[in-house]
A and B are shown apart, each in its own frame.
Chain A
């Protein structure tokens, strides 16, 4: 079966990959591009572990077909740090122990960044609603919310 050639931008760099027509973008990012940050938790849009941003929209890459990415601009968790400098969200997740097993973390980071890009100073309720599409079975969420609040503060001060 002939594969589909996709040309897009990933984390600011031009990228190309071959995929199957029915392959999800999550699988293509992991298996064809080698970016394994986005995780498959459920494959049905419920857990958010596969969260990425495509053309400015936060979405579940498990519900996107890979050929849809053609011509699009994609951001994944791999694009958050600048070299060795972690993004404030990553730093605050680490310092605040906002992760245990870490499977949900890339999705939370991408979703939290999308939230702060849109609303730089969210209150707790806004954070909880903004991250309602991300599930964590380890932390109990509280430390995640605190980490996002701390990151927002750091980013607003700098």
Chain B
């Protein structure tokens, strides 16, 4: 099985893009933790499997003080072991660490998690609340888009033919800002989210919310932002009525499915609860940072 395919391991982005141009049925991969199971389940075999992991830029983590850059094929194990990322984006790093087992962590990538476009993927909500940008290379050169604009539906993306995600850019958060990610799964490990909720909160000097972003996974075909919940927080302490409004707005923003992991009503309720808790955790983390903005 899997034996008719060819293997290619370009070492530069240009080489990878050229290869995709000359082989229309070639497919890029990083960890193959989505792609190989899908091919085994009967998806069409690519003619060439293009391994992105020998391209240094796709596996590098760097920061210039104001922007963090993470290669799209970087294993999530490396992301979780990176102190700078954990300090700046604790929730995004938590979401990354939730993917699969230690074995999967050695291979799973943000690029694959986002480009696979599963509605239940764990890192996209956190990438989105942190305003991550995806740098995309293709036959026409490079372009940068919001990570929020990559997935367009279950299994579909805005990537054009021959385009690959090269890296993600994340701006260093302002003072008193932190994120959090929570997901509910039926077991303690190794399952797919019933609901995932990411929140990022910036507090002002008085402990009121100056900026907020909330995004939900697994409750609609793509990640859902909850502007009503964000608006309910601004200018208020992240407590009491403001949190109740977050919960109500998050539940209302969902458009979930019924499946063996949960009914529509259950997913709605859980989305509200997780959004509220994620906001609380993010706010506590932001408050702990102290300091003046």
Contacts and interface: CB of A to CB of B under 8 A. Distances in A.
Interface of A: 1, 4, 20-24, 27, 43-46, 48, 51, 57-60, 62-65, 67-68, 111, 114-115, 129-130, 132-134
A43 B31 CA distance: 14
Contacts of B77: 57
Given A23-B2, A68-B51, A62 B36 contact: yes
B36 A24 contact: yes
Interface stretch (B5-13, B57-65, B216-224, B279-287): B5-13
B292 interface: no
Q: Which 3 A-B pairs have the closest CB atoms?
A: A133-B101, A22-B5, A21-B7
Nearest to B51: A68
B259 to A, nearest CB: 18
Interface of B: 1-7, 9, 31-33, 36-37, 40-41, 45, 48-49, 51, 53, 75, 77, 100-104, 106-107, 188-190
A22 B2 contact: yes
Given A22-B45, A132-B190, A45 B4 contact: no
25 contacts: A1-B4, A21-B3, A21-B6, A21-B7, A22-B2, A22-B4, A22-B5, A23-B3, A44-B37, A44-B40, A44-B41, A45-B100, A48-B101, A51-B103, A59-B103, A59-B106, A60-B107, A63-B33, A63-B36, A67-B9, A111-B103, A132-B102, A133-B100, A133-B103, A133-B104
A144 to B, nearest CB: 15
A51 B105 CA distance: 13
A63 B31 contact: yes
B40 A58 contact: no
Nearest to B75: A57
Contacts of B4: 1, 20, 22
A121 B9 CA distance: 39
A64 B49 CA distance: 11
Given A48-B101, A62-B36, A65-B49, A57 B106 contact: yes
Given A22-B49, A62-B36, A45 B7 contact: no
A24 B107 CA distance: 15
Contacts of B48: 21
Nearest to A53: B106
Nearest to A70: B9
Contacts of A130: 102
A48 B51 contact: no
Contacts of B53: 68
Contacts of A65: 2, 7, 32, 49, 51
B6 A132 contact: no
Q: B31, B100, B106 — which one has the most chain A CB atoms within 10 A of its CB?
A: B106
B48 to A, nearest CB: 8
Contacts of A44: 36-37, 40-41
